[in-house]
Amino acid sequence: MRKYLIAGLLVWMPLGITFLVVRAIVGFLDQLLLLLPQSYQPDMMLGFHIPGLGVVLAIVLVLTTGMVVANLLGRRIVAAWESLLARIPIVRTLYGGVKQIMEAVLATDAKSFSKVLLIEYPRKGLWGLAFMTSDDLGEVQAKAGANLISVFVPTTPNPTSGFVIMVPHEDVIELDMSIEDGMKMIISMAVVVPPWQKDKLVDGAITDKKINQED
């Protein structure tokens, strides 16, 4: 009975939680329809509510904004708006920080979180998962006198917090797992371990795959 109960929960719990999260997101986005004049709101025009129209409105709004700011005039408008926000003490800190994070995550040429690494942290002999965020550290790398890379060591089970540390290039081991698999392993407290090819074993020892240093 216990085995069957757990098997059933493993089927229904993820489905239920996923449904609740999606419904909450759709419900939140549907509130965007309230920004329209009352006479133009779909509920008033159609006489009944259609779930999900807020999602369509949000997508159209984002795409339209992207099309506007992609041209020269739009960039000037955004620059003027950001210049205004930069004069507001608290707002400029929040806005600037969030924008930098979003640019690092969404930029197509960004190198952040491009590799899952294995590093000895918090001391020698103890190993932890980390994500490479940058290999161009400017002043830090120049004054340290070493070939450093910046890595993010997330906490578990909440990977949104963690530590940013600078590690010598030769002291990190690049793993074959994807960023998604690395996140799953951290969130699950290493209960969920991604599959791995056993042919990585050579003479009974794991072959360390280290990041190749650039010339």
Domain boundaries of the chain, sorted by first residue: 2-106, 116-206
pLDDT at 198: 57
pLDDT at 178: 87
Rounded CA separation 190/109 (Å): 30
Q: What is the mean pLDDT of each run of 10 residues along the chain (215 residues)?
A: 87 89 84 77 77 82 85 85 86 80 60 81 91 86 87 86 90 90 88 74 48 46
pLDDT at 106: 64
pLDDT at 67: 87
pLDDT at 82: 85
Give the HSE-up count for residue 143: Cα atoms under 13 Å, Cβ half-sphere. Answer: 3
Element (H, E) at 80: helix 72-85
pLDDT at 174: 92
pLDDT at 208: 47
- Bridge partners (DSSP) listed for residue 134: 150
